[in-house]
Structure 1
Amino acid sequence: MLRRAWGLCLGLCLILLAGPARAEPQPVLRYCDYPVYPPISWSDGQQVRGLAPTLVRQVLGDLGYQVQVVVLGNWKRCLLDAAAGRVDVVLAYSTSQRQQGLLFSRVPVLREEVALFVNRRHLPRFKHLQDLRAYRGGLLFGESYGQDFDREVVQHGNIEWVSSSQQNFGKLIRQRIDFIPYERRTGQLFIEQLPGAEDIVALPQTVSVDYLRLAVSRQSPLAPRMAEIDAQLQRQVDSGAVQRWLAQSQDAYRAMLKAQRGATP
């Protein structure tokens, strides 16, 4: 009996000396962003900020993953890399073409209304999408605002493709293009402090309504967990976290611009 007790005591001491067991490192997933859409995603010059990266980190963190943020040269590169499996996750609108390489969450992250941003000094006559065939528009590489828009506007060859929103709105300010389709909330926030944008306005008509969704590469190890992703997204929406992160991002973006103006000599 004494020998058995001594053996148990010795075993316990060895366990204590060994210290706590090391936790297995969390697997890392790659999230691709093109941060030119405040307050959804934007860059402060050091890191990607906004609703999108905050949400992705929260949802994937709850599923046991670490998130590596990847920033590429344009939005089209993000979509292509996700479809090819080089990145795991993006936030995007769902289209039939994108569904070939991506799985989209059933639960939407955010409802978004697309408007036309124009220069009030040269207002296009717009009632129907077909009217835009007579004008020049600007889009970022990889952007799509629905099958109707693509069919009636993009496929008629009157779109100029660029890599940045600054470049796009700069062309609209100089009247080199006639319109920019853009999410209304993002566009209004973007032009608030944009130099020379005093004549840029959003038309009251709605071009389309779409829903921003979390999209997973079909080749990602995350692909079989879409039901869990939907459950996590629903929890964040129902708790009010998504709207809270959106408001915090808007405030932070405006504060960054204010600080930048204050630092300008």
Structure 2
Amino acid sequence: MPVIFRLLPAVLFACLSLTAQGEQLRIVTEPWAPYVYEENGHMRGLDYETTVIIFQRLGIDVQWQFLPWKRCLAMLEQGNADGALDIFQSHERDNLLLYPSEPLSQVEFVMFYANARPHPFQTLDDLWGLTIGTSPGYLYSAEFRESRLFTREPAPSHEANFGKLARGRIDLLITDRRVGQHAIKMLGLENQISQAPKVISSQQQFLAVRRGAGMDLLIQRFGAELKRFKQTAAYAALSEKYAGASAKKTLSMPLEQTVEQQESSAR
């Protein structure tokens, strides 16, 4: 019997269980434009809209909630949320969360700099004496996190980080390429801030759910449906919609595995 038919009864059971209890699947996330964000009172974004379509195809009703990322993870740990959108896979969370085989998207981590104060670099050594803007609740690689060559300075939001960069309060800022480009556009900083030309590292992000009865098979079904959807013209159009200014190709660069990830408490 094909695997898909063996999965259907368990997936149906999970869906019926939620319906019978009058419950929705509770998914939490942090605004992470252009992957997921709120605009004029409506949730939008490449990964959000993709996830909505997949759950509609599975016949599952979802309740969404925006929270600071640390709060999202605390709700998962306390059992107050069923899943999280746009989370990185981490071995530290294997006992808590289940991930589908198919990622929602791939993020690329780069540095941004103020045009008036460029800081060319090739390795971590080139960052000596600088102050690097980081995001609260994020976990960076041990090399980046523990280095004494430079100072890491968090800000309460991406917008605050880019404001500090524009005003010269930090020297560089590390974040995802699409997230950074979206923030620059929204803040009207296109003529003041630029992206360093090389990709530092990349990471896949997922829709993950808490372990529980029927959830392992549900997430398998989600992954299979997501993989099929990615082959459609509808997904191609959705991806193009949020491609923005990301058409320029950048060069890969192994910079001491400086991967931006949210702490195990994190994305």
TM-score, reference length from structure 1: 0.73
Please tell me the residue identity of whatever aligns with 2:144.
Answer: V
TM-aligned CA deviation for residue 167 of structure 1: 0.7
Asked if 1:153 corresponds to 2:148, the answer is no
The change in CA–CA distance for 1:229 and 1:193 in structure 2 (over 3 A counts) is: closer
Structure 2 counterpart of 1:67, from 62, 74, 94: 62
Structure 1 residue 112 and structure 2 residue 115: aligned? no
1:167-215, CA deviations, whole angstroms, 9 ceiling, x for partnerless residues? 1110111111122212212312321242345221110111101112221
Change in CA separation of 1:56 and 1:89 when aligned onto 2, cut-off 3 Å? farther
Equivalent-residue separation in structure 2 for 1:208 and 1:196 (angstroms): 24
1:184 paired with 2:180, answer no
Instruction: Provide structure 1 residue ranges, at least 5 long, that are not aligned to the other structure.
Output: 1-22, 252-265
Instruction: Give the structure with the higher percent helix.
Output: 1
TM-score (normalizing by structure 2): 0.73
2:222 is aligned, of 221, 224, 229, to 229
SS at match of 2:191: helix
Of 204-213 and 219-228, deviating more is 219-228
Tell me which residue corresponds to 2:252.
none
Does the 8 Å CA contact 2:136/2:155 hold for their aligned counterparts?
Answer: yes
2:72 is aligned to 78
User: C-alpha distance in 1, partners of 2:112/2:124?
Assistant: 14
- Take 1:219 and 1:177, find their aligned partners in 2: how far apart are those partners? 44
Unmatched runs of 5 consecutive residues or more in structure 2: 1-18, 245-267
Aligned Cα root-mean-square deviation (Å): 2.6
Amino acid of the structure 1 residue aligned with 2:107: E
Distance, in Å, in 1 between the alignment partners of 2:242 and 2:27 is 19
- For residues 213 and 122 of structure 2, the distance between their equivalents in structure 1, rounded to whole angstroms, comes to 42
Contact 1:83 1:102 in 2 (8 A): no
Matched residue, 1:171: 164
Q: Report sequence identity in percent.
A: 27
Q: Distance in 2 between matches of 1:205 and 1:222?
A: 39
Q: Residues 127-181 of structure 1, C-alpha deviation per residue, up to 9 Å, x if partnerless?
A: 124544632222222234xxxx421222347322223111111011111112221
> Aligned equivalents of 1:103 and 1:134: distance in 2?
41
Alignment of 1:218-257 (within 5 A): 218-219=211-212, 222-249=215-242
Aligned-partner SS, 1:176: coil
Distance in 2 (alpha carbons) for counterparts of 1:99 and 1:161: 27
Is structure 2 residue 7 aligned with structure 1 residue 31? no
Mapped contact 1:32–1:87 kept (Cα < 8 A): yes
- The question of whether the paired residues in 2 share the 8 Å contact of 1:39 and 1:51 is answered with yes
**Separation (CA, whole Å) in 1 of partners of 2:22 and 2:40:** 28
